[in-house]
Chains A and B, each alone.
Chain A
Amino acid sequence: MNPPLLEVERVSKEFGSGPTLVRAVADVSFTTDPGEVTLIIGPSGSGKTTLLSMVGGILRPTSGRVVVNGIDITSLKRRELPRVRRELVGFVFQTFNLLESLSALENVEIALNIAGVTGQVARERARALLCEAGLEQRLHFSAQALSAGERQRVALARALANEPRLLLADEPTANLDSEAGRDVMALLRGLTESRGHAAVVVSHDPRLREVADRVLRLADGRLASTESDGRTALLEAVASSPMAREGADSLRRVARAVRRSRLRW
């Protein structure tokens, strides 16, 4: 049994102090395994994005621990966090956040440049990722000339450019129509499984449950419930027994195979 790729242990985040203190996230714990898609749902203001920012090393928790690929990122110094973000984590944002002055290809290439990969190697890797995302005809289009769905595919390719172990997506379908949203999520699901990384997706869109291995519901910053189409509860129950973990892995693989065959909502 492999250790979880992501471990979030009793993480809390407070903003302000005294009478203006706001507890955005309170005592949240969960784990994500390689190849698994974890969906965090909840209403606006429930702390989803704050939680995602802490998992990605952008915000520091007030308390608790975040371990990515065996590295406790909460114990790292501030200047060490950019390295975590470019080597271990890939981000997909609600508003795509592409660099408007660059082409689709350059938007992916710059993520590689940031990690020190330059020249033809970077260009070819970026091209391959965009082709994998179905954008071979849009490589040299400026970001502004792409449709919303295409932009999110470019963003996904950028997030995967440095082969991160963990993909974090913040409302990835919020600005897409249902068809484009379905395509992007299918792509995210497929890439997560084929590459063996883990994905944490934050959304208020309940339709995304279809592509998730595990669903966490946040309310007022607290983890209100955990669901997994019945599978996760079972898996978590047996996970307490080391002997049962092998069986749990098998169940997950079966669940993914079933989900691939009915990827729509």
Chain B
Amino acid sequence: MVPLARRNLLSEKARFAMSIAGVAFAVLLILIVVSLYRGWSNVGRFYTQLPGDVWVAQPGTSDPFHSTSFLPLADAQRLTKVDGVRTVIPVYARHIAFGAPGHELDVFAMALDVPPTVRLRPDTYEPRSGTIDIDRMLASQAHVGIGDSLRVLGRPLVVASIHSGGNSIFQTAFLNAADARALFGIDDFTNFLLVSVAPGARVATVTAALHQALPGTETHTSEQFATSFADRVNAGFLAVVGVLVGIGFVVGGAVIALTTYTATVERAREFGVLKAIGASGTFLYRVVIRQSLIVGMLGAALGVASAVAATRLIRYGVPEFITVLRPLDAAGVFAVAILMAIAASYVPVRRIDRIDPAEVFRA
């Protein structure tokens, strides 16, 4: 089969290249927005990395970042006696104003009062008294490194370690539990109790037992907190993401439509010749749709490749923007770009319908 569609496009190489770049840019924009959205949604996965399975909290708690809770510290002892419970860790968590040289930052500070029997990674979740563990993003924003001093609620704390993570909306710091109680002024209370389920015990069974042991509280798995966090991000950003993605698709579709339409109008006489020598409507439509598909597929492929590169660059260059580019999202955007290319053929196809083959007899 003569590759007429490809030849038509390649006869104007600059326009062809610009069209592909236009579609690629639209796809890149869409995928960056989607991957940022996925990244924000995934921030709540932080809860699943903490050493526990079930969170006990005051009723009405969504997740520690978005709401607070107060429980008597003595409840921790009561829960350790529940069947199937391996450990109970009192968790102190609140937003604090963080004094950095020259400016103040809002940080989500946590402290885990880890029992001596539980081994955690040293200096990560339980820093020594007088020290603090901060994430990389916070260190960058506060312009501090290990050994520097920071003022937290009026008290100087030395940065003992810097852990990975942190992002533009969610920076974390870990305090020593005793320091947290003193700084937060809650000697006999804690905010949450993080329960680890013993090997072989079922989370649902243990959860039910926790309710019986502490009536008037509610329980959440770490997964539920992660989901709750993601739901809140969705509620805040999904509409914006939807608008941006929609704009991206419209721009991409317009680029394809314009390119195909121009290529069709410029070659209207040649399409007329093909009609005159007997080309069916289907044959001509295929040429036009192929033109659109070539631009759409090459543009989408370039856009996906650029998005993969861009998300890697963002990860290293701008770590506060967490991007998660899922293969399924990339495949979905690619598929929509193809559908968009087919839809963009509609106007040029209508234009072909109007071409009168008798015109080709005009010199």
Binding site for B on A (CB under 8 A): 49, 52-53, 56, 58-59, 82-87, 89-91, 93-95, 97, 99-102, 106, 109-111, 113-115, 118-119, 158-159, 162, 170-171, 174-175
**Shortest 10 CB-CB distances between A and B: which pairs?**
A86-B278, A85-B278, A101-B7, A101-B11, A97-B273, A110-B2, A106-B2, A114-B279, A82-B278, A49-B361
Q: A114-B274, A115-B278 are in contact. List 6 more A-B contacts (CB 8 A).
A: A53-B361, A95-B363, A101-B267, A114-B279, A118-B1, A175-B363
Can you list 20 contacts pairing A with B, beta carbon distance less than 8 Å? A53-B358, A58-B276, A84-B278, A85-B276, A85-B277, A85-B278, A86-B277, A89-B278, A90-B277, A93-B360, A97-B269, A100-B270, A101-B8, A102-B7, A106-B2, A109-B2, A113-B2, A115-B278, A159-B277, A162-B278
Contact with A along B260-302 (1 / 0, CB 8 A): 0000000101100111111111010000000000000000000
Bound-state CA distance A90–B273 (Å) is: 12
Q: Please indicate the chain A residues that have their CB under 8 angstroms from the CB of B277 in the complex.
A: 85-86, 90-91, 111, 114, 158-159
How many Å from the CB of B173 to the closest CB on chain A?
Answer: 64
Do residues A59 and B358 form an inter-chain contact, with CB atoms below 8 A? Answer: yes
Asked if A83 meets B361 with Cβ closer than 8 Å, knowing A99-B270, A109-B2, the reply is no
Q: How far, in angstroms, from A84 to B281 measured CA to CA in the complex?
A: 14
Could you tell me the distance in whole angstroms from the C-beta of B360 to the nearest C-beta in chain A?
6
- Chain B residue with Cβ nearest A81: B278
Interface centre among B10, B269, B358 (most CB of A within 10 A): B358
Interface centre among B270, B278, B281 (most CB of A within 10 A): B278
Q: Which residues of A are found within 8 Å of B2, using beta-carbon distances?
A: 102, 106, 109-110, 113
Complex Cα–Cα for A82 and B283 (A): 11
Chain A, Cβ-Cβ closest to B280: A82
CA distance A231 to B363 in the complex (A): 33
**A101 in contact with B278 (CB, 8 Å):** no
Q: How far is the CA of A22 from the CA of B191 in the complex (A)?
A: 94
Residue of B nearest to A161 (CB): B277
CB distance from B29 to the nearest CB of A (A): 32
Chain A nearest Cβ from B283, distance in angstroms: 6
B18, CB-defined interface residue at 8 Å: no
Minimum Cβ distance to chain A for residue B361 (Å): 5
Write the nearest CB–CB distance from B274 to chain A, whole angstroms.
7
Verify if B145 is at the interface (C-beta below 8 Å from A): no
In the bound complex, how far is the Cα of B358 from the Cα of A52, in angstroms?
A: 10
Q: Chain B residues near A113: list those with CB within 8 A.
A: 1-2, 283
Q: CB of B82 within 8 A of chain A?
A: no
Chain B residues with CB under 8 A of A84: 278
With contacts A101-B11, A109-B2 taken as known, whether A91 is within 8 angstroms of B276 at the C-beta atoms is yes
Partner of A93, one of B1, B267, B283, B361: B361
User: How many whole Å from A16's CB to the nearest CB in chain B?
Assistant: 15
Question: Are the CB atoms of A114 and B283 closer together than 8 Å?
Answer: yes
Beta-carbon contact of B273 and A99 below 8 Å: yes
